[in-house]
Each structure stands twice: as structure tokens, then as C-alpha cells.
A and B are shown apart, each in its own frame.
Chain A
Amino acid sequence: MPSPIDYLISAQHECGGWGYTTGQKPVLEPTAAVLLAIRNEPLANNSFQKGISWLLSCQHQDGGWGINEDDPESGWQTAWALTTLRYSTQKQDSISKSVEWLITVSTMEITQEEFQGKEIPKRDNNEAFIWPWLPGQAGWIEPTAMAVLALEGITKSRLADFRISAALNYFRRYRTPDGGWNIGNANSLDTIVVPRAYPTALVLMALNRIAQTEIHATDLNALRQDLRRDPSTLVQSSGILALRTLGEDDETLISNITERQLPNGSWEDNPFFTAWAFMALRGYL
């Protein structure tokens, strides 16, 4: 097997970040994904440190991150950055600031100021507490799952616990009848939506951290079914990773993704996809 590490190191920008595609200016999400993929690789230690430095240089005053170093607005990418920084022993203040941003990020119904108050805001609507893509917006499956993965176990905040339990309720309520999740609603005007592998994989990994008993066999079936339909390297990798996290290795899927690796060590000559495939084969996010 050619080394994905060599490819990833060669695709790194001088500043330390990676783009979604080869040569593209550094972007937060692929940089975080690559750093998570290479974090335990001694050969990539320098590359990892450079990447962490770039990540830290992009952090906003408010503790969050945008899509790249030019984006002034903090958003969903903060969960990716925090998940990555958890594996860096440096810069605890950066971690603390990003935890604070993530647990107080505003939703459509609750402002950041309310979240920053002494008491947890009171709302009857559980969805008022779940995570949006961008501040002040409605919550969705993916940013919520990523926020849970980023925050779980890193803080003793009551608010964080409360929002994570709201996320759990949300995952319960937005599960499609056949198991698994789509990007948001489980139905559209009374039509049941198709569960998709990528959001399902993220939710399963989040549930594995916070409530393993909430994972149903139907969720795994839905995941496997969509993996049979969707050939995307990104989707396949996320599905394999979720299954492996749950101790459900699927040798056929692993074999299929392995066969797709290019001679230069990459998948599709794409740092983001390569990071995901590498994580899938390593079995950790």
C-alpha cells in the first residue's frame, strides 16, 4: 500500500493547511480532517504541528473558526477545529475559547447572550438548543453530531451537557422510520426521506460516545444500504469509519476502498477524501 502520509505531506501548503482539492487554498475542514488522520503518525509529526499552527492562526477572537483564514464569521467548522485541537497538548486557552463558542453558539430561538447567562435558557422546544451551521440559524443533523463529537468529555459545563442531551433527543426524533438519518427532517410534506450514509455515520459516531443503547440495528442497516447505493469515497469512508467505531468491520467495504487508492497514495488526488479514507482504514476519527 503506498503511503497516504507521503501524499498528504506533499499536498500541505507552506502555511500548514490543506484545501478540499489539490492546490486549493487552505480550508478549515479538510485541514482538520487531515490533521485527525495523521495525528498518530510519527513521520508526519512536523506536518501535524505546522497544521495545528495554521489552525490556531485562523481562530477568531470569539473562539470560533470560519471556512478559511479570510472568513470573518465563525461557524460549524469550529467543531472540526476543536475535535482536532483535542489531540494537541498546546494552547489550552484556544481550546477553552472554542469550547465556550460552541456551547454558547446562538440558534434560531436562543441568542448567545442568553446562553451566556447564569441559567440555562428555558424553552419547550428541544430543537431550540441543537447546533446550527451558522449562528442564529436552525439546527441540523451534521453540525449537531459534530458538536457532540467535539464537546463530549472535554468540558464539565452544565450547558454543554444540556445541549448534548437535547442533541440526543433530536437524534431520536429525526431518525427516519427505517433507521438512519438524512441531513435534517425525516420527512418532507408527509413523504419519508431516504436515510443517507454520511449524516447517519456522524450520528452513529456521536451516539457511540454519548448513548450507545440508542443505536438501533435499523440504523446500521440504513447505513449499509446507502453505502451500497453511494460510491463516493467520502461517503464510503465515513460509513466504514462509523461501522469500525462500533466494532462492525465490513471487509468488503474496506477492501473496496483500499482498491481505490491511487499509486501516489491518495484517493482521487484529493486531500480531504484521502484523509477520510485513511481515517476509515485506521478506524478512528
Chain B
Amino acid sequence: MTRQKVSRRTFIRLALLGGIGAGVAYIQHQTAGVGMLNIVRWSLRGQMQWLKPPAIVGLGKCASYDVDLVSYLRELWDISEMPDLRGKSILVKPNLLDEIDNIIATTNPQLVGAVVDLLREMGVSKVVVGEGSAFRRDTYSVVKSCGLSQILDSHGVPFIDLNYDELIPVKVRDGWIRNTDTLWLPRHVTEADYIISIPKLKAHHWAGVTLSLKNLLGVIPSSRYGWPKNIIHINGINATILGLYQSLPPVVSIVDGIIGMEGNGPLFGKPVHHELLAVGRDPLAVDIICTQLMGFSIDSIPHLIGAATAGIGQAKKIETRGIAPDQLQKHYEAPPTL
């Protein structure tokens, strides 16, 4: 029996194939949690953003909540090429995480009232304000103590505690939420034509920043997932933010940065008189700009990097309008974990 000789060329080919196979197996192993297909899809979609038009973020400088906020918002809305909301059903989602004596941690009620006024001026068919507090069994406790209840009463706008709304199972997309194909979401969320996310501009000890995207976690119903939105402790806060965002109706952003929070946010930080209002129809773009205006690198904010990489919004090309960013630049104290 003669031994067949392997030529040098064949050997190199086999070694190359073996190397590629080992590489694929390694990547598959490393990405087993989310799947290589997802990673490829996210990467391609992220690169596709280069082919799309830039996201527009309107920036305003507003010294106080005791001014004609509707005028500020109207101007920012107009320059930011926001969607036409005539006849639409709108859920306004402020950040009402919790209320602690002498700490400003919630979206300012005057600003929420101004957003409602603006929406009515635009001719929306329906507007409700909703939130599900992460720390309180009754979100209305926060609504009352932060002063929002008076504003809502005077505007005749209903408040929906999203923790107790009727729940609708929604299919999750894109592989961000592990071990389930369904998220239970409040009816007022699933039935809205648009969600207006109005976060308080804050540093956040876990997510880095809490802005338009992170603010959306408040719609997760605690009556299903527990307080404080316990799915984030299992699935991870960053993946949950991205998975949730992709399961929602279109979201647009109005960021309350008139007084922001630095340091140990979202509850125990210090106020920053930032005088910033930011508006945009792409929450990722708005959050990137706001993060930069806080003086943080987006590289340190995993959910923004994740969203940018996966093309969940426009991160490659962002155009700001209104006040120039350098006039709004601050350097927030980072949260202890950043």
C-alpha cells in the first residue's frame, strides 16, 4: 500500500479551511447568547446608516421652567423636521422614577404641560400621560408629589399608571430579549401612534446616562415583571433598552435638560443648571448629542454604542440645528460606576 502524499498547496488549503472553520466555531461559541446571525444583521444594519439621511436634533437654550416653554418647543419642533402628529394618538412618557425630598429627579411638570399644549395645538386626536414608576407601588404618589397632578388636572389630561394598565403580549424582535419571544406591554403603549419620550437629562449609575431611550424602561409593567422592572436584572439593562425600543410604536424625543443631574443619578445626584432642551425624531441621535453635551463619551454608554452598532437609529450622521452645541457644552460629574 502506497502512502498518498499531500502536496504543499493542498496542505495550505486545508490549513486555511481549518483556520476559517475554527474561527467560525469560536465566534459561534462566543456569541451563543445572542446568535451570530443577529450580530451579522446588527452590523450590516449599522453600516447601512451611512446610506441614510442624517438625523436632525434641535437644540435650545432655556434658562428656566417659568418661561413660555410652548414657544421654545414649537420652534425646536419646527426646525427638527418632526413628524406630523395631526389626528394621531399620543402617549407622553415623562420620567417619574421616584420622588425624594429635595431631589429633582423627575421630568419637570411645567415642561410636560407645555408638551401637552403643543400637541393639542398640532391637532392630535388623543393625548395621555403615562409612566410606571420603578420604585413606587402607586406611580400617582410621584405624580402628586412632584406637582404633575396639578398640571394634568388643569390641562384635563388623564394619567395612566402603566404598571397597572391592561397588558398586551407583543412579539420581541431582533434577539435582544433572551429566553422569551414575548414582552407584555401596556395597552396605552401598544395602541399609541407615537410615544413622546421626555426624559430628565441625568447621569445614571448603571446605564451611564438616562435619556430618551433609557426613559422608555418606565413603560415595562411592574405588575408583570416586578418592581423595579425586574426584567432588566435578568436580561441586562442595555439589551433590554434596545429590545424594548424595537417593540414599541415610533418614539420621538424631547429632553428636559433645563436642570439636569450629575453624579450618582438617577436618584441621588446633584442638579446641573444646563439650560438645555433637545428635540428629535430619532431618540438615538438625540441621546448621543445629549450625552456629548454632558461631557461623556458615547463609548462609555453601552446601550448607545449597542444601538449605534446595530443601526437602531441614526448614529453615523447627525445634524444639529438651533443653538450651537458648543454653547450648551457642560462637563457633568460622572456616575461612580462610569
- Residues on A close to B: CB < 8 A? 19-21, 24-25, 27, 29, 67-68, 70-71, 75-76, 132-134, 136-138, 140, 142-143, 182-184, 188-189, 191, 194, 196, 198, 229-235, 238, 272
Contact = CB atoms under 8 A, between A and B. Distances in A.
B327 interface: no
Nearest to B169: A70
A270 to B, nearest CB: 9
B141 A230 contact: yes
A183 B268 contact: no
Interface of B: 100-101, 135-138, 140-141, 144-145, 164-167, 169, 184, 205, 223-228, 230, 233-234, 264, 267-268, 336-337
Given A137-B234, A189-B336, A229-B145, 16 more contacts: A20-B223, A21-B164, A29-B223, A67-B184, A67-B224, A132-B230, A133-B225, A133-B227, A134-B225, A134-B230, A137-B230, A143-B226, A230-B136, A231-B144, A235-B141, A272-B164
B226 A134 contact: yes
A21 B268 CA distance: 33
B234 A183 contact: no
Contacts of B169: 70
Given A134-B230, A183-B135, A189 B337 contact: yes
Describe B's contact surface by its main secondary structure: loop
Contact of A232 (B140, B233, B268): B140
A235 B138 contact: yes
B162 to A, nearest CB: 11
B145 A140 contact: no
A131 B125 CA distance: 44
12 contacts: A29-B223, A67-B224, A133-B227, A134-B225, A137-B233, A142-B226, A183-B135, A189-B264, A189-B336, A194-B101, A230-B141, A238-B137
Contact of B234 (A136, A191, A233): A136
A191 B264 contact: yes
Contact of A76 (B101, B137, B226, B264): B226
A67 B140 CA distance: 21
A67 B166 CA distance: 10
Contacts of A194: 100-101
B189 to A, nearest CB: 15
A184 B226 CA distance: 11
A134 B233 CA distance: 11
Contact of A182 (B135, B165, B233, B264): B135
Nearest to A140: B226
A71 B138 CA distance: 23
A231 B228 contact: no
A193 to B, nearest CB: 8
A232 B184 contact: no
Contacts of A233: 138
A238 to B, nearest CB: 8
